[in-house]
Structure 1
Amino acid sequence: MAEPARGTVRANGLEFGYLAAGPEDGPLALCLHGFPDSAYTWRELLPELAGAGYRAVAPFMRGYAPTEVPDDGVYQTGALAADAVALHGALGGGSDAVVIGHDWGAFATYGAAAHAPELWSKVVTIAVPPLNALMEGFFGYEQLKRSFYMFLFQTPLAEMAWNRDFVDGLWRDWSPGHGAQARAVDVDHVMACLGTPENLGAAIGYYRAMFDPARHVERYAAEQEAVSAKGERPVLYLHGADDGCLGADVVVPGGDVSAVLAHLPEGSRVECVPGVGHFMQVERPGDVNARILDWLAG
């Protein structure tokens, strides 16, 4: 498999590093990663999108090296959505663009698609359902145990706990079917992206902003509201049956997708993918890529 091209682009006041594949004149496919992850999480999908004619671009999210750490320290989900909209423009996207997001990238995708639906023809999200659907089951005991890291990240202990073993443990728990050798590749990329105190502070800042509205700024108020809006562009939502980060028992209990569908636009589709966990796009790329490409083609 050919290595994706690397590039940089300025959008929303930040210099973003990105990986890309596909023809320069193809419709934009913007692929947004989550935590603890990097743009390399899309290394299997980028060439498939390129083969389908897309200009597939996976930026490193704000604060994840080589993308700049924002001077203002703003990491609210509205800012992530604004980044996606700005990247669409900076990369020359048209109304035929598609946006695909995993984990934090899913939040950015919901916000970008609802805030500026005219920019996107198709939407895909993975591993994090719409915010209102997530909140319905989040506070059960088992899910709160899985989400210990979110609460750890509200304290100064977060930076003290951070090391390679911690990241590897999250990946092992969240995608138990992703073998140690394959997992090591992804953990290497994470450690490279978050190898400085500034970059690590940015990644943890996403979680601190989530729990502290005082960290939100007015200029992203519209995008912030859009993150939890239903939107109008149909969404393909994929959730792993073995997800150890956000349990399928919370999101699609007993395989019932109705609660998630209720918070998505008409025409959306929800699929619980068997045999995969949180990082399904690298755990079983053939299956996941086929589902995404089928949705985009349809």
Structure 2
Amino acid sequence: MTPSIALLSIRTPMLDIAYEAHGPAGGEVVILLHGFPYDPRSYDAIAPVLAEAGYRVLVPYLRGYGPTRFAHAQVPRSGQQAALAKDLLDFMDALSIEQAALAGYDWGGRAACIVAALWPERVRCLVTGDGYNIQDIAQSIQPRAPVTEHRLWYQFYFHTQRGVDGLTANRRELCELLWSLWSPSWAEGPSLYPQTAPSFDNPDFVEVVIHSYRHRFMYAEGDPALEGIEQALVQPPPISVPSISLCGADDGVGPAPEVDDDVGNFSGFYRRRVLAGVGHNIPQEAPQATLDALFELLEQTQAGAENRSR
């Protein structure tokens, strides 16, 4: 059963971002970011523990999910990586958050990685699902190994009108299929899916998702207002903040490689942990491992946090 959680909202230049808040208002801030096709329920076993430890824990619904809405009809329904990062930065600005610890995976991990790379002063530390999540869009047109192309079938499906129509008509069934394919060893997944599925009924969900998977392959133009961020990512920037990467050994969309090919993208403290029996939805499948990584980094960076609070 989903716990009773107060739902809040904050206006940013692009969105009315719905978010769940836990813990004392004056606590050091931790922001937890979900991916596609998930929602804040991924952190139900994590946020209360952090709150009990005294942290202010914020879990936003990304653009196109749940109660989050676009602020104006004129805002492009973009799902590009720069939009996700700008949403996170705007969210922090709107709430006057000078610096936060970030944890995210999939789309949320991408937002967290970009903000950590481009605005490191805003990020205390980072727990990222599957390592360096910033897209190298220029390389997206290059073919990959057939087994990888097979795993990305849904992305190619979304490049077609058939995919748009299919996601529109069958969003809950399609996303449930992705849950099962991406987390094949997660026994609780089927019973938990109904708690998350209503978040995909957002009126902008389909448009944001389709744009996300087209933009990353250069099949759709980006939001002109975000071009500066996209240009800053053309040469993949390093992440200098203390970071831990958590990778699911059973991830059906991107299983962890034997050799960590992301290590060169992190210039500060960095560790990778491959989690046996865990798929793509890392925080919900492995809450304790996620908490362990967060607490390790929070303790490591405690001195800096205390200096900022003085």
TM-score (norm 2): 0.85
Question: Could you tell me which amino acid in structure 2 is paired with residue 7 of structure 1?
Answer: L
* Residue identity matched to 1:244: G
Equivalent position of 1:119 in the other structure: 122
**Residue in 1 aligned with 2:166?**
161
1:245 matched residue in structure 2: 253
Inter-CA distance 138–267: structure 2 relative to 1 (3 Å threshold): farther
Letter in structure 1 aligned against 2:165: M
1:41–1:281 CA contact under 8 A, matched in 2: yes
- Counterpart in 2 of 1:185? 192
CA contact (8 A) 2:131 2:272 kept: no
Query: 1:140/1:106 Cα in 2 relative to 1: closer, same or farther (>3 Å)?
Result: same
Unaligned runs of 5+ in 2: 301-310
Residue 147 of structure 1: aligned partner:
152
Aligned length: 289
The change in CA–CA distance for 1:121 and 1:128 in structure 2 (over 3 A counts) is: closer
Query: How far does the alpha carbon of each residue in 1:178-224 deviate from its partner, in whole angstroms, 9 at most, with x for none?
Result: 22x543323441x3122255322222222122222752134323322
In the alignment, structure 1 residue 205 sits paired with structure 2 residue 211:
yes
Identify the match of residue 109 of structure 1 among 107, 112, 129: 112
When the two chains are superposed, the root-mean-square deviation of aligned CA atoms in Å is 2.4
Counterpart Cα distance in 2 of 1:236 and 1:7? 29
Greater shift after overlay, 109-118 or 217-226? 217-226
- Residue number in structure 2 paired with 1:94: 98
Contact 1:113/1:231 (CA < 8 Å) preserved in 2?
yes
Correspondence for 1:17:
18
- Residue 276 of structure 2 corresponds to which residue in structure 1? 274
Percent of matched pairs sharing the same residue = 28
Task: Give the direction of change, closer, same or farther, for the CA distance of 1:157–1:172 in structure 2 (3 Å limit).
Answer: same
Give every structure 1 segment of 4 or more consecutive aligned residues whose post-TM-superposition deviation is greater than 6 Å. 132-138
The 3-state SS of whatever aligns with 1:125 is strand
Deviation of 1:81 (Å): 0.7
- Evaluate the alpha carbon distance shift between residue 284 and residue 124 of structure 1 in structure 2; reply closer, same or farther with a 3 A threshold: closer
| SS of 2:229 mapped into structure 1 | helix
Q: Distance in 1 between matches of 2:5 and 2:153?
A: 35
Other structure's SS at 1:212 match:
coil
Give the distance between the partners of 1:214 and 1:147, measured in 2 at CA.
18
For the pair 1:75 / 2:79, whether they are aligned, the reply is: yes
Q: Distance in 1 between matches of 2:49 and 2:207?
A: 33
User: 2:28: which partner in 1?
Assistant: 27
**Which deviates further from its counterpart, 261-270 or 237-246?**
261-270
Summarize the Cα distance change of 1:197–1:24 in structure 2 as closer, same or farther, 3 Å threshold.
closer
The 1:223/1:133 distance shift into structure 2, 3 A limit, reads: closer
* TM-score normalised by structure 1 residue count: 0.88
Q: After superposition, what is the alpha-carbon deviation per residue over 1:80-122, rounded to whole angstroms, capped at 9, x for unaligned?
A: 1111111111123123x11111101111111111221111111
1:229-244 map, 5 Å: 229-244=237-252
Q: Tell me the CA shift for residue 226 of structure 1.
A: 4.5
> In the superposition, relative to structure 1, how do residues 138 and 293 fare at CA in structure 2: closer, same or farther (>3 Å)?
farther
The answer to whether the aligner puts 1:283 opposite 2:289 as a matched pair is no
- Which residues of structure 1 form unaligned runs of 5+? none
Cα deviations by residue, 1:224-256 (Å, 9 ceiling, x for unpaired)? 2455311321321111111101122xxx22xx2
